[in-house]
A and B are shown apart, each in its own frame.
Chain A
Amino acid sequence: MNKMTRRSFLKGTAMAAATVALPNAWYSLARADSPGYFEKEFGMTDKLCQKVLAEALSRGGDFADLYFEHTIGNWLILEDGKVNRAYCDVALGVGIRTVKGDQVGYGFTQELTEKAMLAAASTAATIANANANKPAGKFVQLKMNNYYPLEKLLTSVPLESKLPLVQSANDKCFALSPLIVKVTANFHDQQKRILVVTSDGTKAEDLLPRNYLYVSVVAEKEGKRERAGWNLGGRKDFSYYTPAVADEVAKAAVDRALILFEAVQPPAGEMPVVLGPGVTGVLLHEAIGHGMEADFNRKKISTYCTMIGRQVAEPFVTIVDDGTNLNLTGSLNVDDEGTPGQKTVLVDKGILTSYMHDKISARYYQVKPTGNGRRESYQHYVQPRMRNTYMLAGPATPSQVIGSVEKGIYVQDVSNGEVTIGAGDFAFYVSQGRMIENGKLTAPIKDINIMGNGPKMLKNITMLANDLEMSRGGAGACGKGGQAVPVGFGQPTCLVKSMTVGGTKA
């Protein structure tokens, strides 16, 4: 059942992630895959695609597309000291879409047979009611860059190679502190093959890896328990997962749990908030990014729908959404409707310059699609979605930013963010942070929320440091309209001059 809601959220623990300086170069390495996968494996010839697209346009419609998907996902789970559970999921199917103006007809099937596909196409076609249109006579393979080169397919990495990684993360946690009483660890790897065939003659094929190592620990001290987790990953090759990575994930999880024994709750109310670099970019994603997705603006339901060309932030603030970062979780060689991966500047030196578009909204605004058309799977419609969203570095140093606050909080990590698109209000749980007193970081804090309003927060960013970092986690997933897609985010240290901090101390 699908309760329809516009609200978006980022999944809780999945957000825990470390940070790294943004890779600004793009490297082209050999692909671990060869084109023509769906034709070779499932007989999806151009001729058959053309026939199905013709059916999808049999009652008119502006355009139609086919989205073939074959995804294999594996989970290895360690609990109570042993890797004693594994899960695997295989998804295979095709989604068929017919678009007329801003109206969408959609059918999908798991049977890649001509009969089943024609039936799904016929369902999609019902959105239109006019004379038939014809798809293009031939399809041209889309030329794309590769932002996640693989040395070998994850499915060809034997289980025996993955098991020690998870086990060593567990052992490291117990070695780091006698206070650790429980560890759960899991390694997830997924490879998603897609083929997009459009009625205007484009054919795009991609192989998207996604993987992460996640560790969660429970520590016990003087009868009190605390829990924390951490993950590293992205669109990586398996060679990324060295023993050093397992150690880093373990240490981050343990450190984060132990510090909570010292944590206090700050007083509730309005105060300056400094967002640390890296994973707090999730706040930028929620509070600001969602409102800049073009569907919400086309329908006039986003608070940003009248703000294109307007000054929405100080001139030192530039925000981008980027599909071209090497191996980051939200990177895309091509989006899910055949538009090549690219970088989109949303806010340029304080001015709102662009929304994030799929093909439908791009036609509405008469601009080019920005490569943000994404879907969770072949069972879902395309929506404008974020990729890797971040704010560029500013002029200050991190210590200048912290030093400017007399009394406030420093947020190191947040999770469970949620926003109302129209009002722009948002709430975040602060999982790691510190008090700021007289310009210095003092006691750690825990179990509080920060609340605010997107446009107000943007205007209230009064200082920005020169330390942009991107999240290095691979588990980040964003939800919208019942669909989850992997995303990345980052930002430099920044000062929001006033936000509401929720706690139990009135």
Chain B
Amino acid sequence: MNKDMLTLAQWCVQVAKSVGADDCRVSINSDRLVEISYRERKPENIKEASTKGLYIEVFVNGRYSGQSTSDLRHDALNNFISNAVATTRLLAEDPFRTLPDPKYYQGRADVDLGIFDVDYEKFTPENRHSMVKEIEQACLSKGGDKVISATANVNDGHTESVVLTSNGFEGYTKSTYYVAVAEMTAKDEGDRRPEGYDYAVAVNRKDMPPPAKVGAMAAKRTLDLLGGKKIKTETLPIIIENRSVPRLLGGFLAAMYGRSIQQKQSFLADKKGKKIASDQFTLIDDPFIKGGLGSRLYDGDGFAAKKRVMIEAGVLNKRSVQEIMKDLGRGIFISDFIGGNSNSTTGDASIGIIGQLFENGVPVQAVAEMNIADNHLKFWNRLAEVANDPWMYSSQRMPSLVFTDVVVSGL
């Protein structure tokens, strides 16, 4: 626990109560961030800062508001909180918006989530510069004479947060993160200059891939886009690469949010307990994965976090994307999405795709300016196979997914 932050939070709770709040929740964050980018073998940007922020939610006579500020001077905060309470009095009542019953704070897991890298302070400016140079070098080497521009970036930081409520919740979290990114732009036919990138994110430095791997992978992914063009519109099997799955899945999950259901914006509102996806599909929300980017002991309301199975049915597969591709013969491998929309009210979704046409199990043509469209309720029922490659550098650890009979629009 950070004593200074806790003391400030306690003071804010007292001030809020003294000016008429019935209840309040105070969250204080303290962050440190460092970012270095290289381009043309020299630093392009160097950025470093420490920030603090306070967010207070006040409950007054059954009314609610939330207010945040970065001005943490005591005088300024005093006025800020008084204004927050005064503003809240003018709103309409909302009997459903209260602090949770303290019983829901109970049962917080007593586990070390492993989300703070104890060696963070050993990550020196020299380490950062050498890491980012290595990423850039690997990208330039792999990209060869096709490289027009390569940029490497390393950013990292740590964050501390204290949450305190007037009805007894007290939470403290301390975490670190490391991000490595490489981007490359390549020479292609005519005026086309396709760009690709690779990245990795982890809370512990030991879980990061070798820097050179990020650089080389960015170059490979860019070179894979060369000669991209649209092909004839047809119905094909598709494979969605692991890292791109969350973007499409997000549209499906949006319909499971309580708010979507209450606001009649969910095509899943009456589907609880019913079959909504293929037997290949199991989705788990696990807050306790050690070193996980989404791991936590309590949620934003202070509820003790619990592991939940969201969609249950599936069988984990052991096959790699390459084996699956071989088996399918012809189809589209989607490495990225562009634009698009997902309508949580109707389930209709439409999204641009970037990737490769594969034939006889081998990529033969980069595709661009193409699109897939479907309805989530139908689409997820056509999930045919789940690959063995969950993408670890995200809070959503998704494997690559295979779908049958998807209309891929082009010419």
* B352 CB–A CB distance under 8 Å: yes
B369 and A500 contacting across the interface, CB-CB below 8 Å: yes
Segment among B11-19, B41-49, B321-329 that sits at the interface with chain A: B41-49
Given A123-B48, A423-B192, A425-B368, A449-B373 contact (CB < 8 Å): yes
A299 and B39 contacting across the interface, CB-CB below 8 Å: yes
Chain A residues positioned under 8 Å from B410 (CB to CB): 269-270, 500
* A268 CB–B CB distance under 8 Å: yes
* B252 CB–A CB distance under 8 Å: no
Closest residue of A by beta carbon distance from B348:
A447
Partner of A381, one of B47, B148, B225: B47
* A406 CB–B CB distance under 8 Å: no
Segment among A103-111, A194-202, A315-323 that sits at the interface with chain B: A103-111
B90 and A159 contacting across the interface, CB-CB below 8 Å: yes
* A5 CB–B CB distance under 8 Å: yes
Given A85-B91, A453-B369, A500-B411, A123-B191 contact (CB < 8 Å): no
Q: Which among A9, A110, A424 has the greatest number of chain B C-beta atoms within 10 A?
A: A110
Per the bound structure, the CA–CA distance linking A418 and B111 in Å amounts to 42
Q: What mask results when residues 279 to 318 of chain A are scored 1 for a CB within 8 Å of chain B, else 0?
A: 0000000000000000000011111111100000000000
Segment among A17-25, A203-211, A219-227 that sits at the interface with chain B: A219-227
| A:76-118 near B, CB below 8 Å | 79, 82-93, 102-110
Given A4-B199, A500-B230, A87-B339 contact (CB < 8 Å): no
B194 and A422 contacting across the interface, CB-CB below 8 Å: yes
A502 and B371 contacting across the interface, CB-CB below 8 Å: yes
Chain B residues positioned under 8 Å from A302 (CB to CB): 193
B69 and A89 contacting across the interface, CB-CB below 8 Å: yes
A106 and B46 contacting across the interface, CB-CB below 8 Å: yes
A4 and B153 contacting across the interface, CB-CB below 8 Å: yes
Q: Which among A126, A417, A449 has the greatest number of chain B C-beta atoms within 10 A?
A: A449
* B317 CB–A CB distance under 8 Å: no
* A429 CB–B CB distance under 8 Å: yes
Interface footprint category on B:
35 or more
A447 and B264 contacting across the interface, CB-CB below 8 Å: no
Per the bound structure, the CA–CA distance linking A452 and B370 in Å amounts to 8
* A163 CB–B CB distance under 8 Å: yes
B155 and A84 contacting across the interface, CB-CB below 8 Å: no
Tell me the minimal C-beta distance from A290 to chain B in angstroms: 12
Tell me the minimal C-beta distance from A372 to chain B in angstroms: 18
Q: Which among B188, B201, B373 has the greatest number of chain A C-beta atoms within 10 A?
A: B373
| B:31-70 near A, CB below 8 Å | 35, 37, 39, 42-52, 63-70
Chain A residues positioned under 8 Å from B91 (CB to CB): 83-86, 163
* B350 CB–A CB distance under 8 Å: yes
Per the bound structure, the CA–CA distance linking A420 and B81 in Å amounts to 44
B→A interface (CB under 8 Å):
35, 37, 39, 42-52, 63-72, 80, 83-84, 87-88, 90-94, 97, 148-149, 151, 153, 155, 157, 177, 179, 181, 183, 185-186, 188, 191-195, 197, 199, 201, 225, 228, 230, 233-235, 263-265, 267, 338-341, 343, 345-346, 348-352, 354, 368-375, 407, 409-411
A→B interface (CB under 8 Å):
1-7, 9, 12, 79, 82-93, 102-110, 120, 123, 126-127, 159-160, 163, 181-182, 184, 218, 220, 224-227, 265, 268-270, 299-307, 379, 381, 415-429, 431, 446-449, 451-453, 455, 500-506
Could you list 16 A-B pairs, sorted by A, with CB under 8 Å?
A: A1-B201, A79-B263, A87-B67, A106-B48, A110-B72, A123-B47, A123-B48, A127-B43, A159-B87, A181-B264, A184-B263, A420-B194, A447-B349, A449-B371, A453-B369, A500-B371
Q: Given A5-B183, A106-B48, A427-B339, output 11 extra A-B contacts at Cβ < 8 Å.
A: A1-B157, A85-B65, A90-B70, A105-B47, A127-B43, A182-B264, A302-B193, A449-B339, A449-B350, A502-B371, A503-B350
